[in-house]
Amino acid sequence: MKQRIEKATVALNELRKTLDINFYPNYHIAPFAGWLNDPNGLIYHNGTYHAFYQHHPFSENWGPMHWGHATSSDMVHWQHQPIALAPGDDYDRDGCFSGSAVSHDGKLYLFYTGHIWLKKEHDDSAIYQAQCLAISEDGIHFEKKGVVIPSPEEYMHFRDPKVWYQDGRWWMIVGARDKNDLGQVLLFNTEDLLNWSSDYQVIAKTDDNNVYMWECPDFFPLGDKFITLFSPQGKKPENYQFRNMFQSGYIIGQWAPGQAYNIEQSFQEIDHGHDFYAPQTFEAADGRRIAIAWMDMWESSMPSKADNWAGCFTVPRQLTLTKDNKVIMTPVVELDTLRQEHQSVNSIELPKNTAQLLKDNCESCEVELLWDLKDNTTEKFGFWLGQGLQFYVDGQSHRLILERHYPDNVISDYRSAELPATDKLKIRAYIDRSSIEIFINDGELTFSSRIYPKKDQRALKIFAINGPAKLESGNIWELAGSIK
């Protein structure tokens, strides 16, 4: 594997020479060159946070999957590390697909899916996938140990292992697609990480006959429940819901080793934007449950490919479970360390059909806006970012709408969610060079989307159309860069 990693590194460094920072994020993990998708192996190990990712270092397009790697002391300031895994062995000849990490006896264990095309490349009708292991003594360089769980009979699509320790045993869930083309997750266990039983339990399965695969499953306790977080493939749009090619969301239930998973709440989307896929969670040093996702979507327009890179992560988000069984996401408090120049926004009453500039250039910013919704009947109010993005309250449909319009990149679409029934609307937005993440009312709703404004079109304005609107207060911080 060493020679293959060296070859990939040479290609990566050559591509990096062409990097244009126009769309390259200031504080989100992204490759300096090549392709990135799913977050893998998120973990706190020996005093350091690790984030691995699906990576093709030879071009800006998806290809034979490697594992890229970055490390951090605080989940915010990240340092790129050497490529961790490269495909090419008999059991992962065509890709080291997604997986997870565990820390044990001072060593870092990576569990991943070895992928093989049985016919031609990209022909998903004939593949072989098995769960594999690689181990590191130093957290940087890894030695492959081969297959630990081969594909069970009657399963061809069998990928994305997530491993954890509970009640004296190690547990692994794996996303799968059965012979009837129905998505599900399989549960395995072992005592020693190396020798896994071939016996498994189907712990959850789709009740939607359109859903043929559950990718990137995660399974973890939150509050007094057990959450299954996953990305179903094949779900059909329903009015405003499920508009992306694939979704990410969760089901809620009760589980303990040796018992069935008692599902109490059906699938709910966890993010309402255009670009949120394959979220993976881990425990922070203090026990918080943190999630990071791929902030892109399959088969979407990716203008950064012109600069020989594609893909970035969301900011880390803390997950909590509300009393009414809703998983909410809020930015980790460590992001506050990026704040620099601060601008306070006093109360503003916008007359009908007016706009007001808040900041000339919002290239790398955190924005807080508090709107008064009481007795408001205005048709439309919110904020514009440049000439291509608007986020607003639609007074007619009573929905929050995130709308993009970048015709040069053939992007023109919107995503929406029901407007919360409240007198105040708190918007917290993280804006980077090619992304926006919006948190409503402390995580009640989130929107994550890639954006592609021109260099001179990043002004932040608030507006009110066909009626007045009142902004009670606001804050804007410029955010420092945090990726090396």
Whether residues 155 and 267 fall in one domain: yes
Question: CA–CA separation, 427 vs 402, rounded Å?
Answer: 12
pLDDT in tens, 284-343: 999 999 999 999 999 999 999 999 999 999 999 999 999 999 999 999 999 999 999 999
- Characterize the bridge pairing of strands 289-294 and 317-321: antiparallel
Domain end point (choices 301, 331, 361): 331
- What type of residue is 329? M
Interval 17-44 mean pLDDT: 95
Same domain? 252 vs 355: no
Return the pLDDT at 248: 98
What's the pLDDT tens digit per position in 170-213? 999 999 999 999 999 999 999 999 999 999 999 999 999 999 99
Residues 249 and 362 in one domain: no
Residue 21 lies in a domain: yes
**For range 407-414, the mean pLDDT:** 96
For residue 30, is it within any domain? yes
Whether residues 399 and 363 fall in one domain: yes
464 and 384 within one domain: yes
CATH code for position 82:
2.115.10.20
Share of the chain above pLDDT 90, in %: 96
- Residue 303's φ and ψ, nearest 5 degrees, are -60, -20
Domain range spanning residue 231? Answer: 1-331
Strand segments (E) across 155-308: 157-166, 169-177, 183-190, 201-205, 213-222, 225-233, 249-254, 262-269, 277-283, 289-294
- How far apart are alpha carbons 304 and 335 in whole angstroms? 25
Q: What pLDDT sits at residue 363?
A: 96
Residue finishing a domain among 331, 361, 385: 331
At 18, the pLDDT band (50, 70, 90 cuts) reads: confident
Domain membership flag for residue 484: no
Tell me the CATH number at 378. Answer: 2.60.120.560
341 and 326, same structural domain? Answer: no
The 3-state secondary structure of 281-332 reads EEECCCCCEEEEEECCCCCCCCHHHHHCEECCECCCEEEEECCCCCEEEEEC
Let me know if 105 is a catalytic residue.
Answer: no
The number of domains in the chain is 2
| Dist. CA 234–CA 247, nearest whole Å | 9
Mean pLDDT of 115-136: 95
For residue 338, give the 3-state DSSP assignment.
helix
Read off the pLDDT of residues 225-282 as tens digits, 9 standing for 90 and up: 999 999 999 999 999 999 999 999 999 999 999 999 999 999 999 999 999 999 999 9
- Contacts of residue 34, Cβ cutoff 8 Å, sequence gap at least 6: 11, 12, 15, 55, 56, 57, 58, 59, 60, 68, 308, 309, 310
The verdict on 6 and 138 lying in the same domain is yes
Residue 472's CB is within 10 A of a number of other CB atoms, namely 16
Same domain, 268 and 343: no
- The three-state secondary structure class of 81 is coil
Q: Which of 298, 331, 364 is the last residue of a domain?
A: 331
Catalytic residue among 38, 94, 275, 394: 38
User: 1 pLDDT exceeds 90?
Assistant: no
Q: Are strands 34-45 and 309-310 parallel, antiparallel or unpaired?
A: parallel
Do 186 and 326 belong together in one domain?
yes
Whether 381 is in a domain gets the answer: yes
Confidence of residue 86 (pLDDT cuts 50, 70, 90): very high
